[in-house]
């Protein structure tokens, strides 16, 4: 058998072989790749909205987190500004408006929280939970494909 004949037979065999449908794992992976950034964006937006809303309506409960400033009117003002920014970022996240920019600002905010909590109280389960949120925000700064976004 010449090499050409062998190649032709092989080609025929290849053409006859039915194409296997994508497996469940493949489909799940594709679905995950399509929707994970969107789900992550919505969930981070939910977290930001929750904290933003509560900081805005009950700022005195959050003044204990303000670093270097004891509980005072200044601390309340800082909490209100923080809550306002969180709320705007949350809406940007949920609506899909400038997601990477919003995620970058969220990274800065959460990083400040992680650093200040670590410096003042050391590593704890709360800090590590915030590190996880920080990781999500970092991921979203690099995500270029999003679904369910307000484009216009």
Partner 1 sequence: MRTSGGSVGPRGVTLLLVTAVVGAVLAAYGWSGRGAGPAPGALGGPSSTSAGPRSSPSASPDGAGSAGRTAAKAGPLLGSQSFAAYSFLVWPGTPSSAARTAMTGLSVSVRRTGSGISVSAGVRGQPQGGAHSYPGGARVYVVEASMGDEAGTSDYNLGDDAVVVTDAHGRIVQ
CB 69 within 8 A of CB 34: no
Closest distance of CB 80 from partner 1, Å: 4
User: Which H helix or E strand runs over 52?
Assistant: helix 24-57
> Is the sign of the CA dihedral 141, 122, 85, 150 positive or negative?
positive
Q: Is 51 in the site for partner 1 (CB under 8 A)?
A: no
111 lies in the binding site for partner 1 (CB under 8 A): no
Q: Considering beta carbons, is residue 26 or 34 the nearer one to partner 1?
A: 34
Task: Work out whether 100 is an interface residue with partner 1 (CB under 8 A).
Answer: yes
Q: Torsion-angle region of residue 98: left (phi > 0), alpha (psi -120 to 50) or beta?
A: left
By CB under 8 A, residue 63 contacts partner 1: yes
Using alpha carbons, select from 4, 81, 83, 94 the residue that is nearest to residue 44. 94
User: Does residue 102 belong to the site contacting partner 1 (CB under 8 A)?
Assistant: yes
Q: How far apart are CA 115 and CA 127, in angstroms?
A: 9
By CB under 8 A, residue 52 contacts partner 1:
yes
Report the residue number, 13 or 151, with the smaller CB distance to partner 1: 151
Give the interface with partner 1 as residue ranges (CB under 8 A): 52-53, 55-65, 70-73, 75-77, 80-81, 83-84, 87-88, 91-92, 95-104, 117, 121, 124-127, 141, 146, 150-152
């Amino acid at each position: 058998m010449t090499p050409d004949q062998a190649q032709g037979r092989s080609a025929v065999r290849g053409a006859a072989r039915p194409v296997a449908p994508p497996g469940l794992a493949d489909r799940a992976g594709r679905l995950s790749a399509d929707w994970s950034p969107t789900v992550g964006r919505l969930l981070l937006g939910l977290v930001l909205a929750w904290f933003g809303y509560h900081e805005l309506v009950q700022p005195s409960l959050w003044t204990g987190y303000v670093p270097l400033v004891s509980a005072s009117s200044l601390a309340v003002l800082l909490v209100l500004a923080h809550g306002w920014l969180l709320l705007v970022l949350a809406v940007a996240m949920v609506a899909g408006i400038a997601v990477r920019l919003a995620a970058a600002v969220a990274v800065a905010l959460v990083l400040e929280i992680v650093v200040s909590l670590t410096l003042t109280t050391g590593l704890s389960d709360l800090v590590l939970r915030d590190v996880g949120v920080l990781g999500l925000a970092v991921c979203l700064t690099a995500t270029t494909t999003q679904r369910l976004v307000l484009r216009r």
